Chains A and B, each alone.
Chain A
Amino acid sequence: MNKVTQQTITYREAVRDAMREAMKKDERVFLMGEDVGRYGGCYNVSQGMLEEFGEERVIDTPLSESGFTGCGIGAAVAGLRPIVEIMTVNFSLLAADQIINTAAKLLYMSGGQFNVPLVIRIATGGGKQLAAQHSHSLEGWYAHIPGLKILTPATVEDAYGMLGPALEDPDPVLIFENTLLYNYEGEFFNDGSTVDISKAKVRREGSDVSIITYGIGLHKSLQAAEQLAKDGIEAEIVDLRLLRPLDDETIFSSVSKTHRAVIVDEGWKSVGISAELSAQITGELFYDLDSPVERICGAEVPAPYAKHLEEISLPRVDDIVESVKQMGGIYG
Chain B
Amino acid sequence: MATKKKTQKKEPKEGTAESKKKLHLLHQMMRIRQMEEKAYELYTQEKIRGFLHLYDGEEAVAVGVIENLEKEDSIVGTYREHGHALIRGVSMERIMAELFGKAEGCSGGRGGSMHLYDKETNFYGGSAIVANGLPMAAGVAFAYKRQKKDAIACCFFGEGAVDEGEFHESMNLASLWDLPVLFVCENNLYSMGMPFELAEAETDLVTKAKAYKMEGSSVDGMDVLAVQKASKKAVNYIRKNKKPYFLECKTYRYRAHSMFDPERYRDKSEVEEWEERDPIETFSEKLRNEKILNDADWKKLNDEVAEEVQAAVQFAEEGTEEPLENLTKYVYSD
Q: Does B110 contact A (CB under 8 A)?
A: yes
Of A5-13, A35-43, A112-120, A265-273, the one with at least 4 CB within 8 A of chain B: A112-120
Interface string of A65-106 (1 = CB under 8 A from B): 011111111111111100000000000000001100110001
Q: Does A231 contact B (CB under 8 A)?
A: no
Contact residues in B for A77 (Cβ distance below 8 Å):
124, 136, 139-140, 143
Question: By the criterion CB–CB under 8 Å, are A78 and B333 in contact?
Answer: no
Question: By the criterion CB–CB under 8 Å, are B136 and A102 in contact?
Answer: yes
Q: Which listed residue, B127, B169, B333, touches A102 by the CB 8 Å rule?
A: B127
Min Cβ gap B118→A in Å is 7
Interface string of B119-162 (1 = CB under 8 A from A): 10000111101001011111111111011000001000000000
Question: By the criterion CB–CB under 8 Å, are B146 and A114 in contact?
Answer: no
Please give me the residue from chain B that is nearest to A80 by CB atom: B143
Min Cβ gap A87→B in Å is 16
- A67-B172, A110-B117 given as contacts; is B111 within 8 A of A76 (CB)? no
Contact residues in B for A4 (Cβ distance below 8 Å):
none
Interface string of B23-63 (1 = CB under 8 A from A): 00000000000000000000000000000000000000000
Q: Does B316 contact A (CB under 8 A)?
A: no
Contact residues of B between 315 and 334, Cβ < 8 Å to A: 329-334
The answer for the CA separation of A82 and B333 in the assembled complex, in Å, is: 18
Q: Does A329 contact B (CB under 8 A)?
A: no
- A78-B144, A114-B119 given as contacts; is B332 within 8 A of A107 (CB)? yes
Q: Name the residue among A61, A69, A70, A146 with the largest chain B CB count within 10 angstroms.
A: A70
Of B80-88, B100-108, B201-209, the one with at least 4 CB within 8 A of chain A: B100-108
Contact residues in B for A106 (Cβ distance below 8 Å):
125
The answer for the CA separation of A134 and B333 in the assembled complex, in Å, is: 33
Min Cβ gap A121→B in Å is 17
Q: Which listed residue, B74, B126, B169, touches A66 by the CB 8 Å rule?
A: B169
Min Cβ gap B209→A in Å is 16
- A66-B135, A97-B166, A171-B333 given as contacts; is B153 within 8 A of A110 (CB)? no
Q: Which listed residue, A73, A79, A98, A170, touches B333 by the CB 8 Å rule?
A: A170
Question: By the criterion CB–CB under 8 Å, are B117 and A64 in contact?
Answer: no
Min Cβ gap B156→A in Å is 15
- A71-B142, A171-B333 given as contacts; is B173 within 8 A of A62 (CB)? yes
- A70-B170, A71-B142 given as contacts; is B135 within 8 A of A107 (CB)? no
Contact residues in B for A76 (Cβ distance below 8 Å):
139
Q: Does B257 contact A (CB under 8 A)?
A: no
Contact residues in A for B76 (Cβ distance below 8 Å):
74
Q: Does A283 contact B (CB under 8 A)?
A: no
Question: By the criterion CB–CB under 8 Å, are A114 and B132 in contact?
Answer: no
Q: Which listed residue, A70, A97, A111, A170, touches B138 by the CB 8 Å rule?
A: A70
Contact residues in B for A66 (Cβ distance below 8 Å):
135, 165-166, 169
Question: By the criterion CB–CB under 8 Å, are A67 and B136 in contact?
Answer: no
Contact residues in A for B107 (Cβ distance below 8 Å):
109-111, 113
Interface string of B165-207 (1 = CB under 8 A from A): 1100110110010000000000000000000000000000000
Contact residues in A for B146 (Cβ distance below 8 Å):
30, 56, 75, 80
Q: Name the residue among B134, B135, B142 with the largest chain A CB count within 10 angstroms.
A: B135
Q: Does A108 contact B (CB under 8 A)?
A: yes
The answer for the CA separation of A108 and B328 in the assembled complex, in Å, is: 9
Q: Which listed residue, B106, B109, B132, touches A70 by the CB 8 Å rule?
A: B132
Contact residues in A for B243 (Cβ distance below 8 Å):
none
Please give me the residue from chain A that is nearest to B330 by CB atom: A112
Q: Does A147 contact B (CB under 8 A)?
A: yes
Q: Name the residue among A68, A75, A115 with the largest chain B CB count within 10 angstroms.
A: A75
Min Cβ gap A243→B in Å is 15
The answer for the CA separation of A108 and B332 in the assembled complex, in Å, is: 8
Contact residues in A for B137 (Cβ distance below 8 Å):
74
Question: By the criterion CB–CB under 8 Å, are B330 and A107 in contact?
Answer: yes
- A77-B140, A79-B143, A97-B166 given as contacts; is B110 within 8 A of A111 (CB)? yes
The answer for the CA separation of A107 and B334 in the assembled complex, in Å, is: 11
Question: By the criterion CB–CB under 8 Å, are A72 and B110 in contact?
Answer: no
The answer for the CA separation of A63 and B186 in the assembled complex, in Å, is: 27
Question: By the criterion CB–CB under 8 Å, are B132 and A101 in contact?
Answer: yes
Min Cβ gap A86→B in Å is 14
Question: By the criterion CB–CB under 8 Å, are B139 and A75 in contact?
Answer: yes
- A69-B135, A74-B137, A98-B132 given as contacts; is B144 within 8 A of A109 (CB)? no
The answer for the CA separation of A101 and B134 in the assembled complex, in Å, is: 13
- A70-B134, A73-B135, A170-B333 given as contacts; is B109 within 8 A of A111 (CB)? yes
Contact residues in B for A115 (Cβ distance below 8 Å):
333
Question: By the criterion CB–CB under 8 Å, are B125 and A70 in contact?
Answer: no
Contact residues of B between 64 and 110, Cβ < 8 Å to A: 74, 76, 105-110
Question: By the criterion CB–CB under 8 Å, are B138 and A113 in contact?
Answer: no
Other 17 A-B pairs with CB < 8 A, given A73-B136, A107-B331, A115-B333: A64-B172, A66-B135, A67-B172, A70-B136, A70-B170, A71-B138, A71-B142, A80-B142, A80-B143, A101-B132, A107-B332, A109-B125, A111-B106, A111-B108, A111-B110, A114-B119, A147-B331
**What are the 9 tightest A-B residue pairs by CB atom distance, in nearest-first order?**
A74-B139, A70-B135, A111-B108, A67-B169, A78-B143, A110-B117, A64-B169, A170-B333, A71-B139
- What residues make up the interface of A, taking CB atoms closer than 8 Å to B? 30, 56, 61-62, 64, 66-80, 97-98, 101-102, 106-115, 146-147, 149, 170-171
- What residues make up the interface of B, taking CB atoms closer than 8 Å to A? 74, 76, 105-111, 115, 117-119, 124-127, 129, 132, 134-144, 146-147, 153, 165-166, 169-170, 172-173, 176, 329-334
| Sampled A-B contacts (5; CB under 8 Å) | A70-B166, A73-B136, A74-B141, A112-B108, A147-B331
